Structure 1
Amino acid sequence: MTLAIPGFDYQRVAAADGVTLNVAVGGAGRPIVLLHGFPQTHLMWRHVAADLAADHTVICPDLRGYGASDKPAEAGPATYAKRTMAADVVAVAAALGHDRFALAGHDRGALVAVRAGLDHPGVVTHLAALDVLPTLDMWDVLRGAGAAVAFHLYLMAQPPGLPERMIGASADAFFGHFLDAWTGDPGAIPAQVRAEYLRASREAVPSIVADYRASAGIDADHDRADRAAGRRLGMPVTVVQQDWGAVLGYDAAALWRAWAPDLEHHTTSAGHFLAEEAPAEVVKALRGLLARPCLDTGGKV
């Protein structure tokens, strides 16, 4: 049986291109949308969402291609482009009655959040990114021996066919590897939740691969065009991430600041799945972000 966030209502909401997303909604107040990462579903936000719902409307969708949301066949690079997935998020929020909202994403969801902030600056009031680098910077720093930690990025960047067959042949071992290797506290992902992540990922191999393939192609093209045009994130931005820069030789805060002038950057001792391993730390960061004034509304929050 599919797990749910206690106290949240579930509905299917129309997104872009005829796709519908599975969305959990709870609480009341200023809206914040929470986007999950890989290899997870909206369920990764269960602790954080419950806290924020005390005074915010919290919207937790499964991204297209993940969880219980639609998984359209990859008709071309735009099907799983972060631009398309960001349009999904804006459409879902609008369908729920919100034309402006705060947005937080983890891992893949953070890349969607960044694209939403760049493409829809009048819609996204505040933006948080958990444990990821912007797409172009990610590809720039993951080179040489250091790239071994991200072998999956290169595998899923290959043309359609081979990566889907390889991963599909041993899906639980593949996705389970990341759930095990990337967590600093295995107990933070209970067996029942882990099983749900594996089930959902096993049923979504082609769309998950398509999501990653887009990051090596069309997503990088979109980011490159924005960088050349000098487009940046004008809203308050908070980033929380592990300190991989010390190991791989880059300054994560400087990379993010090039995209987000109004930046607060924090490092964490938690593992990659910090919303589950350190939910109080994430809630504190998000509440701090939400308290900051919006630059594009004359200082109004």
Structure 2
Amino acid sequence: MATFLEFEKPIAELQGRIDELRDTASDGAIDIDSEVKRLQTKSDALLRATYARLTPWQKTQVARHPDRPHFGDYVAGLFEDFMPLAGDRAFADDQAILGGFATFRGQKVMVIGHEKGNDTASRLKHNFGMGKPEGYRKAIRLMELADRFGLPVLTLVDTSGAFPGVQAEERGQAEAIARSTEACLKLGVPMIAAVVGEGGSGGAIALAAGNRVLMFEHAVYSVISPEGCASILWRTADKAPDAAEAMKVTAQDLKGLGVIDTIVSEPLGGAHRDPDAAIAALGDAMADALSGLHNLGPDDLRRDRRDKFLAMGRL
């Protein structure tokens, strides 16, 4: 059963009426095809109109939708021969950040990303996609391994932020994030990063400092969550919609500011309504981005990244 967001209530009501009609006619005694078709057309039109004018706060809700594809879904849909690699060789194996060798459209790559989980048990296991220091140190290890073997690095970013617990701070969370960002920038191989849901704070940029940054149409990418920003500025999370508007968290805003390179279109109503189509669209976009970097040498790739990030914020 579909999970509808707060702003989708009118669409949910129409779908409810359609389901009721279908249940009523389940015995075949009543022909309700024409009425169902009329309501479905109306529902599709309302869905299209609603998603054409989403506010930044509504896009944040879509980016957090529990039914959006997660790391495991992308690996299953886009990669072959995935070989997960575990541990940071220092403390533990973080389950919020996963990665390993894989084959992407005939080419060997290293794929790394955040995994949020898709039910209560898996969300707890993966800590809701909030990486700990050992997760970012694992990412560093995998990026260095890819660099050693000349493999492109593909990352899938989907986190509300790095884990903020005391234990993480004790184990050097800030340094781990900084070192992971540095590892991205030092790579002598192509790196493509894709923000597929939430791109939250340093927990996101630590896996997103690539040559090309892709972003789903309804994903968000920001230095802090709207609720966190509102709590700091207005002392209340109720101002989150205002914060989301001011922070320019949407793909459309960030493309205009030069923070990301490509906006990847989502199926009508968001990636959660047709995960397979969303996964395929991301695969095409990543392949296109990767093809444009094949002829660049290590120094050129590092220079490309350096110029890209230093150009941000310049007037």
Query: TM-score scaled by structure 2?
Result: 0.39
Higher relative contact order (CA 8 A, sep 6+): 1
What TM-score, normalized to structure 1?
A: 0.41
